[in-house]
A = this chain, B = another copy of it.
Amino acid sequence: MGTIDGIFIGVDLGGTNIEAAAVQDGQILASKKIKTRAAKGAEVVINRIEKASRAVMDKLDAQPGEIQALCIGAPGAVELETGVVNSAPNLGWKDVPLAAQLQKRLGIPVFVDNDVNVGTAGEFTYGAGQGEEHMVGIFVGTGIGGGVIINGQIHYGGRGAAGEIGHMVVVPNGRVCGCGKRGCVEAYASKAAMIKIIQEELEQGRKSALAGLVNKKGILRLSSSQIGDALAAGDELMIEVLQDAQFYLALLTANLVNLLDPDLIVFGGGVVEQLGDSFLEPIRDKAVPYYLQQADAQRIRILPGTLGDHAGTIGAAVIAQRRLVL
């Protein structure tokens, strides 16, 4: 398969921010981050994606014609062929023809993909997964998302819905997940789940300095960096909840190893970026006893992503480049 070289724009479309970056060979040449303003509706958000993309071109002193293609990583379910975002709860979107709208405005090929697939493609091509064939990306943030790379290609599945790693069940009849099902790994190991579990413990009278982070409405606010602070301060509740999260992520990791025999599993997302390898070390230790082949402990690497925040824009540019030649 050939590839077309040149400059590609990758857009990371989030519920809070839009970041656009001009990328060449995995290097960011220029970037622009602005607020998403999702509450103002899809039309406004699409305008803002165009604005961020044009700002990046302006920084490079480039015309749209000098950009080969653009890809947007969207937080939801997308239809790859048409570039329609079928559903993006964080944006309040239903069936938004994102690619067609932007392509009309910018006059260059525009593709849309799921944000976690995009992040996985970024880490695979220019981050922790470089040079490998089979990789799973696990992104631990407010939720848990995943991407599967088989033979160097994103595995989309029969209708583009593969990679819903956060909703693999790790506890039969377990905690209720945001999706309504019971026992999903996201119900134990996502940031939102950890906050919910801590809040429940506090409400039952458990002592912890984290009680000081509960606001007047009775809601616990806990950023990834505050999780890091609480761990550093030796807060027992935080340590316990994190250890449980790591145990379930370890079961998930072992299940992926036994099923897919990947070359590596890369963890990314806010929690991992904040806590780094100290978050992964217990996951490795707890996963290995669940590998069917103990030799896998040496061979299969469990690594933090190396692109951090940039996995989304770089990955979107990677997909723009790949899709252009398909």
Contact = CB atoms under 8 A, between A and B. Distances in A.
Contacts of A247: 172
A96 to B, nearest CB: 18
B258 A167 contact: yes
Contacts of A79: none
A158 interface: yes
Contact of A134 (B157, B163, B263, B292): B157
A170 B155 CA distance: 24
Contacts of A260: 148, 155, 157, 162
A235 interface: no
Size class of the contact patch on chain A: 35 or more
A167 B261 contact: no
Interface stretch (A26-34, A99-107, A293-301): A293-301
Given A181-B290, A293-B161, A300-B158, A168 B261 contact: no
Contact of A163 (B167, B181, B259): B259
Contact of A261 (B162, B255, B262): B162
A292 B167 contact: yes
Nearest to A256: B259
Contacts of A162: 259-261
A200 B169 CA distance: 27
A248 B169 CA distance: 11
A169 B290 contact: yes
Nearest to A160: B261
A184 to B, nearest CB: 9
21 contacts: A133-B158, A134-B158, A148-B260, A156-B261, A157-B260, A157-B262, A158-B262, A158-B263, A158-B299, A158-B300, A159-B299, A162-B259, A162-B260, A162-B261, A163-B261, A165-B259, A167-B258, A168-B259, A169-B255, A255-B255, A259-B259
Given A133-B158, A172-B251, A181-B292, 20 more contacts: A134-B157, A148-B259, A156-B261, A157-B260, A157-B261, A158-B261, A158-B263, A159-B299, A161-B293, A162-B259, A162-B260, A162-B261, A163-B259, A164-B292, A165-B258, A165-B259, A167-B258, A168-B258, A171-B172, A255-B255
7 interchain residue pairs of minimum CB distance: A157-B261, A162-B261, A164-B258, A161-B261, A167-B292, A168-B255, A158-B263
